[in-house]
């Protein structure tokens, strides 16, 4: 208890000091550094617009383009609107130490420049193109150069102010660093004794957590296995029972329609037959989605080739599929899990990525299978955004572990999401279903 009291006292004193220094640092960064940077961004925006105006005026004076001077008015109007917005934001973000007179002079210079611009286009509209070009040379270009120089000076001033603030921030960091060393020295002894006790307690806790984690993984794998068996059974029942019943009803309707019956009754038979056929197609789609029969009959490669066009039709997302290598005979216990990983990855892509294009790459080798699903959407959530990864990704990891494979969820440099699955292949029948 004594060690705890001393540790708490030291932590409390240092925390107060650190919070005080951090508060000052936050105020300095918010009120000066960040404000200067945002102000510099607006000044760069103004400078960029001024450079665009300079290039436009050069083209207007040279007359190289086969357009009348009035053709540039739209471009000038767009730049004028953007400059007005940038000037408004820059005025709000201007450093406190900047003189109000200087800010007013900057605004007056821009207003005078636009007055001259209006005069140029007025003369051009009156048919005096030569006078308008002369006014550009003698008035607009010098004004633009002067305003650009003013903006450059303001940028230099902002940079110097930021350098001074950086020096002050560095001094605060240095003071805090020195006190951190003092704090560590004061609290080290108490922490050592406390840590020894915590290590012993945590070791026991981690052992329990490891056992619970293993039990959870076993349960998840059993649930996945049971789920596949249930889906397979339901799919088979739909195919064998409902599919055959609907097919038989359709055949009966066809034979009845060929008999000598009234036209209205024939039309009713045709309507019932169409409904039956539609129901049969929906039933086929349902049992194929639950457990594709083609996976059992034709193998993994044919199942993937069948599923991708169905996915494109249902979602409108274009899928570019590329297969390399010679497809070996993949055990059913592996094929179903690889297929479910592909299915879940594409479903997540359709729900969350906002991408209109996807790439599916499958590489077959005698001893392993490599699957990639990639898009150029919004990408995976990160810890900074507070995003949480859903149960689908957990299920994909569990399925990869079931086949002793490795799955990765990556963010490519080009953006989007890349799901990569590597599965070792063993002789057929060596995996449990």
One DSSP character per residue, 195-210 reads HHHHHHHHHHHHHHHH
Place of tokens 């066009």: 309
Give the pLDDT score at 291: 66
Encode burial over 123-160: b for 16+ CB neighbours within 10 A, e otherwise: bbeeeebeebbebbeebbbebbeebbebbeebbebbee
Give the pLDDT score at 385: 44
Give the pLDDT score at 431: 47
Q: Binning pLDDT at 50, 70 and 90, where does residue 357 land?
A: very high
Encode burial over 351-375: b for 16+ CB neighbours within 10 A, e otherwise: ebbebeebbbebebeeeebbbbbbb
- 3-class secondary-structure state, position 422: strand
With residue 419 as reference, give the H or E element that holds it: strand 417-424
State the CATH architecture for 297-424. Answer: 2-Layer Sandwich (3.30)
Say if residue 430's pLDDT is above 60. Answer: no
Question: For 151-180, what is each residue's pLDDT tens digit?
Answer: 888 888 888 877 777 777 777 777 777 777
Q: What is the per-residue DSSP string for 352-376? A: II--SEEEEEEEE-SSEEEEEEEE-
- 3-class secondary-structure state, position 136: helix
Rounded distance between C-alpha atoms, residue 173 and residue 140, angstroms: 49
Q: List the CATH code of the domain at 2-192.
A: 1.20.120
Give the side-chain half-sphere CA count within 13 A for 250.
Answer: 14
Say if residue 3's pLDDT is above 70. Answer: no
Top mean pLDDT of 103-112, 114-123, 211-220, 383-392 is at 114-123
Specify whether the CB–CB gap between 43 and 90 falls below 8 A.
Answer: yes
Give the pLDDT score at 241: 65
Q: Average pLDDT, whole number, for the chain?
A: 80
Give the pLDDT score at 235: 64
H-state helical runs in 63-140: 73-93, 100-125, 129-135
What is the average pLDDT across 290-310?
Answer: 82
With residue 289 as reference, give the H or E element that holds it: helix 263-290
Domain extents for the chain?
Answer: 2-192, 297-424
Question: For 52-101, what is each residue's pLDDT tens digit?
Answer: 888 888 888 887 767 788 888 888 889 989 988 988 888 888 776 677 78
């Amino acid at each position: 208890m004594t060690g705890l009291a001393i540790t708490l006292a030291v932590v409390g004193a240092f925390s107060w000091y650190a919070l005080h220094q951090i508060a000052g640092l936050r105020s300095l960064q918010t009120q000066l550094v960040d404000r200067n940077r945002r102000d510099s961004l607006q000044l760069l925006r103004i400078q960029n617009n001024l450079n665009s105006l300079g290039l436009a005026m050069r083209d207007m004076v040279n007359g190289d383009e086969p357009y009348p001077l009035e053709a540039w008015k739209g471009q000038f109007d767009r730049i004028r609107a953007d400059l007005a917005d940038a000037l408004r934001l820059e005025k709000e973000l201007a450093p406190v130490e900047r003189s109000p007179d200087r800010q007013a002079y900057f605004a007056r210079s821009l207003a005078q420049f636009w007055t001259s611009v209006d005069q140029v286009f007025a003369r051009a509209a009156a048919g005096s193109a030569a006078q308008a070009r002369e006014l550009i040379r003698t008035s607009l270009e010098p004004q633009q150069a002067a305003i650009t120089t003013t903006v450059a000076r303001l940028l230099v001033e902002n940079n110097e102010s930021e350098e001074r603030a950086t020096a002050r921030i560095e001094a605060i960091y240095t003071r805090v660093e020195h006190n951190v060393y003092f704090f560590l020295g004061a609290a080290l002894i108490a922490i050592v004794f406390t840590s020894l006790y915590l290590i012993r307690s945590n070791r026991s806790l981690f052992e329990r957590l490891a056992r619970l984690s293993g039990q959870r993984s076993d349960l998840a794998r059993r649930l996945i296995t049971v789920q596949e068996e249930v889906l397979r059974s339901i799919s088979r029942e739909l195919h064998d029972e409902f599919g055959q019943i609907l097919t038989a009803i359709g055949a009966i309707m066809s034979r009845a329609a060929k008999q000598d019956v009234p036209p209205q009754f024939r039309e009713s038979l045709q309507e019932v037959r169409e409904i039956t056929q539609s129901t049969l197609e929906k039933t086929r789609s349902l049992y194929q989605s639950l457990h594709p029969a083609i996976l059992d009959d034709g193998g993994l490669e044919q199942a993937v080739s069948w599923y991708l066009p169905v996915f494109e039709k249902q979602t409108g997302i274009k899928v570019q599929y590329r297969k390399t290598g010679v497809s070996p005979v993949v055990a059913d216990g592996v094929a179903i899990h690889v297929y479910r990983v592909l299915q879940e990855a594409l479903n997540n892509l359709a729900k969350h990525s906002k991408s209109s294009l996807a790439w599916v790459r499958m590489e077959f080798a005698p001893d392993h299978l490599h699957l990639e699903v990639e898009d150029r959407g919004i990408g995976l959530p990160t810890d900074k955004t507070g995003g949480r990864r859903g149960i689908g990704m957990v299920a994909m990891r569990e399925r990869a572990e079931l086949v002793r494979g490795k799955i990765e969820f990556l963010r490519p440099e080009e953006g989007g999401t890349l799901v990569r699955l590597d599965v070792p292949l063993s002789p057929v029948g060596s995996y449990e279903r």
